[in-house]
Amino acid sequence: MKEIKFILNGKEVSVEADPLKRLLDVLREDKRMTGVKEGCGEGECGACSVLMNGVLVNSCMIPLGAVEEAEIVTPEGIRETEKGKLIIDAFGDAGAVQCGFCTPGMMMATEALLTINKTPEEEEIREALSGNLCRCTGYDLIVKGVQIASERGKDLW
């Protein structure tokens, strides 16, 4: 057991746990942030995507010990922000959401992409989403959702 301090959605937090505990479990169990989903537990599907120091990561692959002093952002951390609301609305208008299990992770991937590339081409969007699997949509309408977010969010990112 070790006390690990990090920034979670803008607030300093401290968690006392096994440093090898998966960040995914810390977020879901200790912090009750269930917007972070477990799809595979092996870094393949992206349902557990969070931002770590601004970079998109799979929280199932990150041990708690590795987030000491890091800044972690979960779906709960962006869904109420202007950017988060815009992505959610864009996904809604595009028809990007079906079963929804992958969607919070897709929102995180979109936020990560638009932060470094405000006006991505379709191929760049597909590349940016390629670590996030979806079994329902075939991706077309998620890509459209990112395009709508990019158009509407020119001044935000």
Partner 1 sequence: MGAKISIPVRRIDAKEKAGGWAKYIGDYEFDNLQHGRFLRSERARAKIIEIKKPVFPEGYYYVDASDIPSSGKNNIQMIKDDWRVFAVDEVRYIGETIAIILGPDKQKVLDLLNEIEIIYEDLIPAFTFDDALACKGGAVHGTDNIFAEYLLNVGNTDNAFKNADKIIEGKYETGFQEHLYMETQGLVGTWEDGKITMYASAQCPFYIRKSVAGTLGVPLGDIRVRQVTTGGAFGGKEHFPDVIATPLAVAVNKIKKPISMIYDRIEDISFTCKRHPSKITIKTGLDKDNNIIAMEIDTLVNGGAYESSTPIVLQRAILHGLGVYNIPNARILGRAVATNTFPSDAYRGFGAPQGLFAIEMHMSHIADELGLDTSDFKRKHFIKTNDITITNSKMHDDVKLEEMFAKIDEMSDYSSKVKKYANDPVKGIGIAFVNHGGGFTGNGEQVVIQGVVKMKRLDDGKAGLYVSVVEMGQGLQTTMRKIAAGELGLSIEDVVYDNPDTDIVPDSGPTCASRSIMVVGFLVQECAKKLKAKWEEGVGTEATHQYVHPEEFVWEQETLQGDAYPAYGWGINVVEVEYDPVTFEVKTEGVWAVWDVGVAIDETIMQGQSSGGIIQALGYASIEKCELKNGAFMQHTMADYTIPTSLDFPKVETVFIDNPYKYGPSGAKGAGELVFDAAPPAYAEAVQNAIGKRIYDIPVTPEMIMEALNK
Shortest separation between residue 154's beta carbon and partner 1, angstroms: 21
Cβ 11 to partner 1 shortest distance, Å: 18
Q: Min. distance of Cβ 87 from partner 1 in angstroms?
A: 7
In DSSP terms, which residues pair with 8 in a beta bridge? 11, 72
Write the Ramachandran bin of 41: left for phi over 0, alpha for psi from -120 to 50, otherwise beta.
left
CB-nearer residue toward partner 1: 68 or 149: 149
Taking the least distance from each CB to partner 1, the nearer of 8 and 37 is 37
Q: Are strands 55-58 and 49-52 parallel, antiparallel or unpaired?
A: antiparallel
- Nearer to partner 1 by Cβ, of 8 and 107: the residue is 107
Say which residues have a Cβ less than 8 Å from residue 151's Cβ, sequence separation at least 6: none
CA separation for the pair 48, 145 (Å, rounded): 20
**What's the closest the beta carbon of residue 151 comes to partner 1, in angstroms?**
17
| Closest among 113, 110, 33 to 76, alpha carbons compared | 33
Q: Where do contacts with partner 1 occur on this chain (CB under 8 A)?
A: 28, 32-42, 44-45, 47, 74-76, 79, 84, 87-89, 91-104, 106-107, 122, 125-127, 129-143
